[in-house]
Amino acid sequence: MNAKPGSPKPLISVEKRGGKEVTVISNLHTYGSARLEKIAGDLKKSCGCGGTVKNGAIEIQGNKTDAVKNYLMKNLLALILIFFMVSCKSPSVSINEPAAQPYDYGELALINLNFNSQTYSPWEGQYTADGVNFSYNDTGAYEGSHCGRFKIGAGGDLWTSPNNGSQTARSELQLMRTAPAGTEIYYSWYIKIDSSYAESDEWQVIGQFHDQPDPALGETWSNYPAHSPPLAYKYKNGNLIVSVYSWDTNGVMDIASVPLSKGAWHRIKTRVFWSTDNTGFIEAWLDGAAIESSTGLTRYTARNCFNNAGNYIKIGLYRSNAINTEGIVYYDNVKSGLTSESVD
């Protein structure tokens, strides 16, 4: 996808559209509509956001100047210089300028959560009623005196989000500390589906890794779009399902399914390399046995981060609002570490 000889240099600027920033790539009038659409499609995939071709220019949602510049450097090889203007007034800058210092996302916080002390700080709760939808169970823990009990009642027990007011059937704990893109990490926990859990064909998430706004891009929860989680474990009709977000289809894809019996403790272990490109991978084990995909693979390799801020962990139960029966799951010994041995 080289530029035509004599093509003008693309200009990259950040502009406002309805109060929100968009990255505009202009000065592309010699490329033709088909090539512009192809470049726009590649940029949307690369940046993990929406975009369009408008009036001979490409518009990408958000401030994506670095990602756009990197793409053009790699793909439009005939260009020697790429200029970008911020707010249409900033001076042009050569692509050979020193790279900006990476954003400091803070120290990686490793997890070691059991419920024996009857506290889950620094985790945050997302459930309707303390002691009802989440409680410390003093019988039947996998190890020690207590485990975490997550319940959604027959009436739905809808939790109201403080960010957007949405109401969802969930009883979860979340740890917002980030495992940023570029991190290889192991996770492990024990889970038990209550023996009384009613089966349903609706979706039911029993553990997930969710994306979050990237402060390096000026993103906040108030302007960050909702996505399905890059990685989730679901329960359905006696099976544990490994589910991922696919950037190829812009939707959820179930990649593996294995039997999961109710009324007994099971260990889920995950090895993941979080990445904004296709070097990312996921490996998972249930009770020590590698979980294989439908094609027999034990490693799923694909992008698994929307941005460099990476993904945070949520444990518990989150399910379709259409389910009207009681659901209870238990968690114990939630860990993360940089080696397999550290979570064993």
Q: When comparing pLDDT for 155 and 258, which is higher?
A: 258
Q: Which CATH class is domain 112-343?
A: mainly beta
- Give the residue-averaged pLDDT of 222-239: 93
CATH number of 11-86: 3.30.780.10
Vertex 247 angle, CA 26 and 86, to 5°: 25
Q: What is the pLDDT of residue 32?
A: 66
For 234-262, how does the pLDDT look when each residue is reduced to its tens digit (9 = 90+)?
999 999 999 999 998 989 999 999 999 99
Strand 11-17 vs strand 83-86: parallel, antiparallel, or unpaired?
parallel
- Give the residue-averaged pLDDT of 213-231: 89
For 86-107, how does the pLDDT look when each residue is reduced to its tens digit (9 = 90+)?
333 433 333 344 445 667 777 7
- Give the residue-averaged pLDDT of 170-193: 93
Element (H, E) at 307: none
Q: Looking at this protein, which amino acid is placed at residue 140?
A: G
pTM of the complete model:
0.71
- CA distance linking residue 280 with residue 181, whole number of Å: 9
Two structure tokens written together for 269: 């272990």
Percent of the chain clearing pLDDT 90 (strictly above): 54
| Domains of the chain, residue spans | 11-86, 112-343
Instruction: Classify residue 201 as exposed, middle or buried by CB count within 10 Å of its CB (0-12, 13-18, 19+).
Output: exposed
Nearest residue to 26 via CA among 57, 49, 55: 57
Q: What is the pLDDT of residue 234?
A: 98
Residues with Cβ within 8 Å of residue 258, at least 6 apart in sequence: 239, 240, 286, 291
> Are 31 and 42 within 8 A, CB to CB?
no
For 67-81, how does the pLDDT look when each residue is reduced to its tens digit (9 = 90+)?
888 787 766 543 333
Q: What is the pLDDT of residue 91?
A: 38
Q: How would DSSP label each residue in 245-302?
A: EETTTTEEEEEEEEE--TTSEEEEEEEEE--SSTT-EEEEEETTEEPP-TTS-S-EES
The number of angstroms, rounded, from the C-alpha of 30 to the middle of its chain's C-alpha atoms is 38
Q: Prior bond to 230 cis, omega within 30?
A: no
Q: What is the pLDDT of residue 101?
A: 62
Q: What is the pLDDT of residue 79?
A: 38
- Give the residue-averaged pLDDT of 282-293: 96
Average pLDDT value for the chain: 85
